[in-house]
Amino acid sequence: MRYILPLREGGSLPALAEADDGFKYVLKFRGAGHGTKMLVSELLGGMIASLLGLNIPELVFATLDEDFGRTEGDEEIQDLLKGSEGLNLGMHYLSGALAYDPTVEIDPLQASKIVWLDAFTTNIDRTFNNTNLLLWHRELWVIDNGASFYFHHSWNDFERHALNPFPHIKDHVLLPQATMLDEADRFAREILTEERLREIVNLIPEEWLVWRHTDDSPAEIKDIYSHFLQTRLLNSEIFLKHAGDARG
């Protein structure tokens, strides 16, 4: 209902906005650089994080009409909003949250779950330079999963990508504290059943899956995401070993 201000520290130019339920949300826009694929990453990564018992701001679908942000004077933002008409993704705004300080020690199982999550979803963007973690009410919260599932930007040979050891994990901000990776893996394998992964994938709106570079239908694209996740889970020892070696 109301565009409040852009959050320019985000590469995709998200914004703080107020919705018709009276709450404030950080909005991620389909008109940003990576389009709806970034929204898919945010949705899948966020829902998987929630199943793993990690704190993540509530995710909501947010509809923008053509009048949203019309009074915004910045031409770049105007173009972004015009290109984002329709269904977008919002995250509940954590008012007063602080950026995570990498020198702060956290529970080793929690750190291991987050490292496991990012290796599983191939999230390249939780580093010392950009932690994408917040401290809110003395708890650690996971935000910004939009850089996950980077295989979908090329959209080919997804089975090979599903077996990727994910060498980028060496740069993860929590890797030094992730001393319980085996325990995190056992927990994740119990929680992330094939049925639950399919339910998460089925949350993706079909209008986010109409892509110019492929003839695959939304249903076929969902099947590929499901197969990617299930294959990666069944072969988690590949990225788990790489994370352990990187710690060593």
The reported pLDDT for the residue numbered 199 is 98
Cβ atoms of 134 and 141 closer than 8 Å: yes
The reported pLDDT for the residue numbered 63 is 95
Task: Quick: pLDDT tens for 54-65.
Answer: 999 999 999 998
Task: Quick: pLDDT tens for 76-134.
Answer: 888 888 889 999 999 999 999 999 999 999 999 999 999 999 999 999 999 999 999 99
| Residue linked to tokens 């991620």 | 28
Task: Quick: pLDDT tens for 215-231.
Answer: 999 999 999 999 999 99
% of the chain beyond a pLDDT of 90 = 81
Task: Quick: pLDDT tens for 131-176.
Answer: 999 999 999 999 999 999 999 988 888 999 999 999 999 999 999 9
Checking if the pLDDT of 11 tops 70, the result is no
Neighbours of 94 (CB within 10 A): 18
Q: Which contiguous run of DSSP H or E holds residue 81?
A: helix 75-82
Strand ranges (E), the chain: 2-6, 15-18, 24-28, 59-64, 86-92, 98-99, 133-136, 139-142
Q: Averaged over 5-31, what is the pLDDT?
A: 87
Would you place residue 67 in the very low, low, confident or very high pLDDT band (cuts 50, 70, 90)? confident
The reported pLDDT for the residue numbered 240 is 97
The reported pLDDT for the residue numbered 10 is 57
Mean pLDDT score of the chain: 93
The reported pLDDT for the residue numbered 33 is 80
% of the chain beyond a pLDDT of 70 = 97
The reported pLDDT for the residue numbered 9 is 66
Neighbours of 201 (CB within 10 A): 22
129 CB-contact burial (10 Å; exposed 0-12 / middle 13-18 / buried 19+) = exposed
- Give counts: helices (H), strands (E), the chain: 8, 8
Q: Averaged over 19-24, what is the pLDDT?
A: 95
Task: Quick: pLDDT tens for 188-197.
Answer: 999 999 999 9
Checking if the pLDDT of 184 tops 90, the result is yes
CA distance 215 to 63: 26
